[in-house]
Amino acid sequence: MPNNKKTERTERIRRYLSPRSQLGQLRYVPRALKFVWDAAASWTMASLVILVIQGILPVLTVILTRYVIDSLIVAIDSNGNWNLIQPALIYILLLGTVMMVHELIGNLKNYVNTYMVDRTKDYMFRFIHEKTSSVDMEFYESAAYYDQLSRASSDAMSQPLNLLNNITSFLQAVITLVAMIGILFSFAWWIPLVLLLGAIPAFVVSVSLSRKIFSWRLLNTLNQRRLGYYNTVLTSDKAAAELRLYKLDDHFKPAHTQLRRRLRKERLDIHTKGLLGQIAASLSGMLTLALVMAWVGWRALAGYFSLGDMTMFWQAINQGRQLIGNLLSGVDSIYRNLLFLEDLFQFLDTEPHMVDPDEPVEVPPLEKEITLKDVTFYYPGSERTALEHFNLTIPSGKFVAIVGENGAGKSTLLKLLCRFYDPQEGTIYWDGVNLKDVKQAELRRHISVLFQQPFAYHDSAANNIRFGNLNGDTTQSDIEKAARAGGAHSIIAELPEGYDTILGKWFGNTELSVGEWQRVALARAFMRKSNLVILDEPTSAMDSWAEYEWMSRVRNLVGGRTAVIITHRFTTAMQADIIHVMIDGRVVESGTHNELVALDGRYAKSWRQQMDDAEWTNGSPTLKPEDDAN
pLDDT digits (tens, 9 = 90+) for 181-192: 767 776 677 777
Which of these, 569, 567, 591, lies nearest to 580 by C-alpha position? 591
For residue 384, pLDDT over 90 is answered with no
Whether residue 242 sits in one domain with residue 184: yes
Q: What percent of the chain has pLDDT over 70?
A: 77
For residue 245, pLDDT over 70 is answered with no
pLDDT digits (tens, 9 = 90+) for 431-457: 999 999 999 989 998 998 888 788 888
pLDDT value of position 47: 84
pLDDT value of position 567: 86
Give bridge partners of residue 102 from the DSSP assignment: none
CA distance 149 to 344: 8
pLDDT value of position 22: 60
CA distance 94 to 61: 9
pLDDT digits (tens, 9 = 90+) for 82-95: 777 788 788 888 88
For residue 5, pLDDT over 60 is answered with no
In a domain, 65, yes or no: yes
Q: Is 616 helix (H, G, I), strand (E, B) or coil?
A: strand
The pLDDT-based confidence of 417 (bands split at 50, 70, 90) is very high
Lowest mean per-residue pLDDT among 290-299, 452-461, 611-620: 611-620
For residue 393, pLDDT over 90 is answered with yes
Whether residue 403 sits in one domain with residue 330: no
Whether residue 597 sits in one domain with residue 518: no
Number of H helices, E strands in the chain: 23, 12
For residue 498, pLDDT over 90 is answered with yes
Whether residue 204 sits in one domain with residue 252: yes
Contact 9, 215 (CB under 8 A): no
Whether residue 578 sits in one domain with residue 471: no
CA distance 88 to 82: 10
Q: State the DSSP H helix or E strand holding residue 100, giving kind and residue range, or none if neither.
A: helix 82-132
For residue 461, pLDDT over 90 is answered with yes
Q: What is the mean pLDDT of residues 324-337?
A: 66
What's the DSSP call for residue 508? S
In a domain, 472, yes or no: yes
pLDDT value of position 12: 55
For residue 422, pLDDT over 80 is answered with yes
Whether residue 397 sits in one domain with residue 258: no
| CATH code assigned at 75 | 1.20.1560.10
The pLDDT-based confidence of 65 (bands split at 50, 70, 90) is confident
Query: 3-state DSSP: the chain helix, strand, coil percent, rounded to 5?
Result: 65, 10, 25
pLDDT value of position 152: 67
Contact 161, 245 (CB under 8 A): no
Burial class (CB in 10 A: 0-12, 13-18, 19+), 438: buried
CB atoms closer than 10 angstroms to residue 432: 9
Which of 115-129, 423-437, 559-573 shows the highest mean pLDDT?
Answer: 423-437
Q: What is the mean pLDDT of residues 198-214?
A: 73
CA distance 270 to 266: 6
pLDDT value of position 574: 85
Which of 15-29, 140-154, 450-464, 548-562 shows the highest mean pLDDT?
Answer: 450-464
Asked which of 291, 314, 348 is the last residue of a domain, the reply is 348
Write phi, then psi, for 580 (nearest 5 degrees). Answer: -115, 130
Asked which of 322, 348, 374 is the last residue of a domain, the reply is 348
Whether residue 296 sits in one domain with residue 172: yes
pLDDT value of position 431: 94
Asked which of 469, 496, 529 is the last residue of a domain, the reply is 529
For residue 578, pLDDT over 90 is answered with yes
pLDDT value of position 321: 64
pLDDT value of position 155: 55
Q: What is the mean pLDDT of residues 208-218?
A: 76
The pLDDT-based confidence of 370 (bands split at 50, 70, 90) is very high
β-sheet with 369-377: strand ranges across? 387-395, 369-377, 425-430, 433-434
Give bridge partners of residue 372 from the DSSP assignment: 392, 428
For residue 260, pLDDT over 80 is answered with yes
CB atoms closer than 10 angstroms to residue 6: 11
In a domain, 434, yes or no: no
For residue 619, pLDDT over 50 is answered with no
Q: What is the mean pLDDT of residues 138-158?
A: 68
Whether residue 397 sits in one domain with residue 322: no
Higher pLDDT, 332 or 116: 116
In a domain, 382, yes or no: no
User: In one letter, which amino acid is 529?
Assistant: K
CA distance 212 to 339: 12
In a domain, 466, yes or no: yes
For residue 627, pLDDT over 70 is answered with no
pLDDT value of position 620: 46
Lowest mean per-residue pLDDT among 197-201, 211-215, 424-428, 585-589: 197-201
In a domain, 379, yes or no: no
Lowest mean per-residue pLDDT among 47-51, 317-321, 579-583: 317-321
Reduced 3-state DSSP string for 119-166: HHHHHHHHHHHHHHCCCCHHHHHCHHHHHHHHHHHCCCCCHHHHHHHH
For residue 615, pLDDT over 60 is answered with no
pLDDT value of position 625: 36
In a domain, 356, yes or no: no
| CATH code assigned at 473 | 3.40.50.300
Whether residue 201 sits in one domain with residue 96: yes
pLDDT value of position 308: 65
pLDDT value of position 43: 84
Whether residue 550 sits in one domain with residue 472: no
CA distance 569 to 542: 12
The pLDDT-based confidence of 290 (bands split at 50, 70, 90) is confident
Q: What is the mean pLDDT of the chain?
A: 79
Whether residue 461 sits in one domain with residue 413: no
Lowest mean per-residue pLDDT among 52-61, 240-249, 538-547: 538-547
Whether residue 521 sits in one domain with residue 545: no
Which alpha helices (H) appear in 467-601, and where do they start and end? 476-486, 489-493, 514-527, 544-558, 570-573, 593-599
For residue 262, pLDDT over 80 is answered with yes
In a domain, 427, yes or no: no
In terms of residue numbers, what domain contains 501? 456-529
Q: What is the mean pLDDT of residues 224-243?
A: 79
Total tally of structural domains belonging to the chain: 3
For residue 32, pLDDT over 60 is answered with yes
pLDDT value of position 479: 92
pLDDT value of position 73: 77
Contact 419, 445 (CB under 8 A): no
pLDDT value of position 622: 42
pLDDT value of position 621: 47
Cα 109–chain centre separation: 29
pLDDT value of position 428: 95
For residue 588, pLDDT over 70 is answered with yes
